[in-house]
Amino acid sequence: MTHNTSLHGAAHHNQVVIFLGPPGAGKGTQAERLAAEHGLTKISTGDILRDHVARGTELGQQVAPILESGKLVPDDLLIALIRDQLSKMETVRVIFDGFPRTTAQAQELEMLLEQLGAPISAVPLLEVPDDVLIARIVERGKSSGRNDDNEQVARHRQEVYRQQTQPLIDYYAARGHLKPINGVGSMDEVYQRLQQVIG
């Protein structure tokens, strides 16, 4: 494996940010802004999967019913997608939005990042109370037309998120990567808090 560090200035070193937070916490919007301002590529497995569904690829046909029911896509499919994305990059500068969701995925991702010589820089965790989240998701459904943005699916997703992701939060906390952030407030207020932990 070759290292191209000598070719890149300090501004182009590897940077891996893993963005945690429940569905509806505003991760997507904040991740877009962080990516734009820090020269990072936003990797959202949800966006990649919805793109496959929209294009009717073989993978899209596999995952469409899983997404519609609010269940989670199998790890091996997700890791394959991410390996494909990262392996095309000369310098790994990414922000993960909505991945990993489980400790199994986190371990797989860590192994992949080690192979690429790109350690995790920070794991910000957006914290928002449930009632605020459900209201946001239902509101988003009205404007986005996404048929998985309704209260029933939203409540199910929160439950799945809590069961699956608490161990992940503990996992990153134990490694010293976790940075809890208050996700309530204006977009700018939350963004300023994020800026402080991303560096």
- Residue 39 marked as a ligand binder: no
The catalytic site residues sit at 27, 101, 140, 146, 157
- Residue 109 marked as a ligand binder: no
- Residue 9 marked as a ligand binder: no
Q: Buried b / exposed e across 85-99, counting CB within 10 Å, b at 16+?
A: ebeeeebbbbbbbbb
Question: What is the DSSP secondary structure assignment for residue 20, as one 8-state letter?
Answer: B
- Residue 180 marked as a ligand binder: no
- Residue 50 marked as a ligand binder: yes
Around Cβ 116, how many Cβ atoms within 10 Å? 17
User: What does 112-134 look like in DSSP terms, one character per residue?
Assistant: HHHHHT--EEEEEEEE--HHHHH
- Residue 162 marked as a ligand binder: no
- Residue 21 marked as a ligand binder: no
Q: Which helix (H) or strand (E) holds 19?
A: strand 15-19
Annotated binding-site members for ATP:
24-29, 140, 185
Binding-site residues for AMP, in ranges, read 45, 50, 71-73, 98-101, 105, 146, 157
Binding site as annotated, residues:
24-29, 45, 50, 71-73, 98-101, 105, 140, 146, 157, 185
